[in-house]
Each structure stands twice: as C-alpha cells, then as structure tokens.
Amino acid sequence: MMANSGTACPIIGFGAWAPDVGEERTTRAKQWLGSALKIGYRHIDTAYAYGTEKAVGDAIRESGIERENIFVVSKLPPHHHGRVAESLQETLDNLGFEWLDMYLMHWPIAAPYEGDDTGTPKALPTINDTWEQMEQCLQTGKCKAIGVSNCSIKMLEQLLKTVKVKPAQNQVEMHPYLAQNDLLAFCRERDIAVVAYTPSGMCSRVKKHPPTILSLRTTGTNVVRNDPVIVELAAKYNVTPTQIILAWHLSREVVVIPKSTNEGRQKENFNLPTLKAEDIKKIDGLDRGQRICNKPDENGLVWGMSAEQLGWV
Ligand SMILES: NC(=O)c1ccc[n+]([C@@H]2O[C@H](COP(=O)([O-])OP(=O)(O)OC[C@H]3O[C@@H](n4cnc5c(N)ncnc54)[C@H](OP(=O)(O)O)[C@@H]3O)[C@@H](O)[C@H]2O)c1
C-alpha cells in the first residue's frame, strides 16, 4: 500500500509489542522477530514505549535483509512530545538505524517529560505543536514519513487545521467488533492510510497479563475469534478464525500488524484467503463499537484523558 508520502508500506506487517518481563523484550523478541523476517514479513511495527527497538534492529541486521527492503515504524511516546527530535534520535540509536520509514505520534496526548529535573513545570505542547516538530524531523531525513496513532475524527480535525504535511497513516485499534467505519471513511477521503492494531481482536497485553496487573486493559478475551460467524467462515475457507479476521481487514484495504511469538501462527497470519463479498458482509455485521485493547479505566480515563477528550464518544 502506498502512503500519501509516496512510501510503500506492505499491507501485512508485524507487531513488535512485548511484555516488560524477563527477556521478552530482548533475547526472546529478537528470536520471534527473526522468525517473522524469515517467513517474509517486511513491515515491522515497534515503538519507543515497547522497549523492543533494539531487538528489532538486531533481528533485521542478523536477518541479512537490506535495511532498504524493510518498512520500519516506530512511535513518539506521550512524555516526549516536547522533545521530538531528541526522542527520534534515541529511537534511531536504539534501533541502530539512520532512518525510520514511518514515525508515528503514539497518542494524541502529551505527558510531562520525567527526565527534566529543573523542577519548573512546563506547559505541555498541543498535538499541533508536536506535529510541527515531527514535520521538522522529515526535513532531516531521519524519518521518511510521519503519521499518527489512536486519533479519532475529532483529533484529526484539530490536527488538520494546522498541518503542512498531512499524516500518512493513522494506526488505531480495529477489528470486526470495532470496525470504525466513520473513521475509516474520514481517513480515506483525506488520503490517510489506516493501520489496524489488535487486528485479530485479541490484545497481546491482555493475554499475557492478568487484568489486575494492567487495570487499563481489563476484560478483553478471545471473543472475536470465537464469534460463531468467524468460526463458521473459518470452516468454510478451511483456515483459522484469525486468518478470516485478518483477511477481512485486507478486503477493506486496511493495513494489519498482527503479532505472534509463534512461528506457525506467524505463517498463518502471513497467508490469508480472499473472502467473497457475501462473507465480508457477514463480518461487517459484527461491529459493536467494542474496544478490547485500550479502553477507559474505572475512572473513565485512557492514559489520563477522557473518552470525550479523545473523541471516542
Ligand atoms: N498504536 C498503539 O497504541 C498500539 C496498541 C496495541 C498494539 N499495537 C501494535 O499492534 C500489534 C498487534 O496488536 P496486538 O498484539 O494487540 O494484537 P494481535 O496481533 O491481534 O494479537 C496478538 C495476540 O494474538 C495471538 N495470536 C497471534 N496470531 C494468532 C493466531 N494466528 N492464532 C491464535 N493466536 C494468535 C498472540 O499470541 P502468540 O504470540 O502466542 O501467538 C497474541 O497474544 C502490537 O504488537 C503493536 O505493534 C499498537
């Protein structure tokens, strides 16, 4: 898929989130990233906040694949909005690369930078300010394209008022239970590619940790894959439920970034059937606006912002 920046982004990418336990973000991550690259994935999605940037860089170097042939995405964390150029350089140093193919604002939310020990509280930048800094990064060649993540129509409208360069991508939670049709149409009309995270409807974080550890992401389970419509279609096409769900995204021309630590499942997610129109329609009918990965906590907040502020309701 071609981003509005002119950079080609493979429509099936690979997610690199990992839990912050043991060697999950280091040795283990390098291992499963290496196997994904061997299978053929050429689009890797990481973030400063995931702590896997070094593993991504090492896995790519060890794969022997030319850097030019892999689309590498990383993200600016909320607490770095006031220091975009420095944060991008830290990301590049972690990866050991000279440039990113796509640099995303991870959340349309600015948080205080903890490394600033002057004790003087500073006003937090708006997303428009942060975007301006990201546009400046484009000039340096350290990223080939810039985009956003977790942006609703409301947030995009606010951002688009001042941009010189439009976001090339918006990476959001999307799966059959959260089809986000209005957001998809809004982005499409403005030539902003949509990338689905938690594309299978099962967030890695929910699976790996009990809800008590991560109160923000609570009850999400494997509900989408167990939906009778998905299960029936999996039998019809002789594939797995996850393959049906990922194929549905491709039918909508949405980029997917599934993550699996398992070689067999990585292969599954990379080999998808083409769905018939009537089956796509059945999956379209499952939408219920249900967030599974990032949703408001018991105080109604998502990373400190209300669903109203984020434009989610
Ligand atoms: N921008 C953001 O704010 C944001 C938020 C969340 C995620 N992301 C990105 O999106 C990527 C993917 O999202 P995600 O990890 O939440 O969801 P996902 O890729 O839809 O699902 C991952 C979970 O499903 C399992 N899985 C994967 N393929 C499977 C298959 N074929 N059959 C059965 N189980 C399978 C994985 O376990 P195994 O490893 O055991 O296979 C893992 O627990 C992340 O890695 C990250 O890069 C971005």
Q: Each residue of 66-119: pLDDT tens digit? A: 999 999 999 999 999 999 999 999 999 999 999 999 999 999 999 988 776 666
Residue 49 has what DSSP assignment? G
Percent of the chain scored above 70 by pLDDT? 92
Answer whether 262 contacts ligand 1 (Cβ < 6 A).
yes
Give the 3-state secondary structure of residue 29. helix
pLDDT at 134: 98
Task: State pLDDT tens for residues 223-237.
Answer: 999 999 999 999 999
**Looking at the domain assignment, is residue 2 inside a domain?**
no
pLDDT over 50 at 220, yes or no: no
Residue 3 lies in a domain: no
pLDDT (tens digit per residue) in 196-217: 999 999 988 765 544 433 333 4
Query: With 50 as the cut, is the pLDDT of residue 219 above it?
Result: no
Render pLDDT for 105-143 as a digit per residue (tens, 0 to 9): 999 999 988 776 666 667 899 999 999 999 999 999 999
Ligand 1 atom 42, closest CA? 204
pLDDT at 3: 66
Residues identified as active-site: 50
CB-CB neighbours of 74 under 10 Å: 29
Of 35, 198, 255, the one to substitute when testing ligand 1's pocket (max ligand atoms within 8 A of C-beta) is 198
Choose the residue to mutate in 197, 231, 271 for probing ligand 1, maximizing ligand atoms within 8 Å of C-beta. 197
Query: Whole domain around residue 129: which residue ranges?
Result: 14-310
Q: Do the domain assignments include residue 5?
A: no
Distance 173 CA to ligand 1 centre (A): 11
Does residue 146 belong to any structural domain of this protein?
yes
**Confidence (pLDDT) at 221:** 56
How far is the centre of ligand 1, averaged over its atoms, from the C-alpha of 260 (Å)?
6
Per-residue pLDDT, 289: 96
Query: What is the position in ligand 1's atom list of the atom closest to the CA of 200?
Result: 20
Q: Give the pLDDT score at 115.
A: 75
Ligand 1, atom 29, residue with closest C-alpha: 265
pLDDT at 96: 98
Q: Among residues 290, 313, 311, which one has the least CA distance to residue 154?
A: 311
Ligand 1 midpoint to CA 93 (Å)? 25
What amino acid occupies position 121?
P
Query: What CA–CA distance (Å, rounded) separates 26 from 52?
Result: 7
Cα of 112 from ligand 1 centre, angstroms: 29
Residue 145 clears pLDDT 60, i.e. is over it? yes
Tens-place pLDDT, residues 242-269 = 999 999 999 999 999 999 999 999 999 9
125, part of any domain: yes
Could you give the number of structural domains in the chain? Answer: 1
In a domain, 241, yes or no: yes
- The CA-atom distances, in angstroms, between 309 and each of 52, 109, 158, 186 are 30, 10, 12, 19
In a domain, 7, yes or no: no
| Contact by Cβ (8 Å): 167, 159 | yes
Residue 98 lies in a domain: yes
CATH number, residue 219: 3.20.20.100
For the Cβ of 170 lying below 6 angstroms from any atom of ligand 1, the answer is no
Closest residue by CA, ligand 1 atom 25:
260
* Type and span of the H or E element at 301: strand 301-302
- What's the pLDDT tens digit per position in 167-192? 999 999 999 999 999 999 999 999 99
Going by alpha carbons, the residue nearest to atom 30 of ligand 1 is 265
Residue nearest to atom 10 of ligand 1 (CA): 197
Length of the chain in terms of residues written: 313
Q: Is 106 annotated as a binding residue?
A: yes
58 CA from centroid of ligand 1 (Å):
21
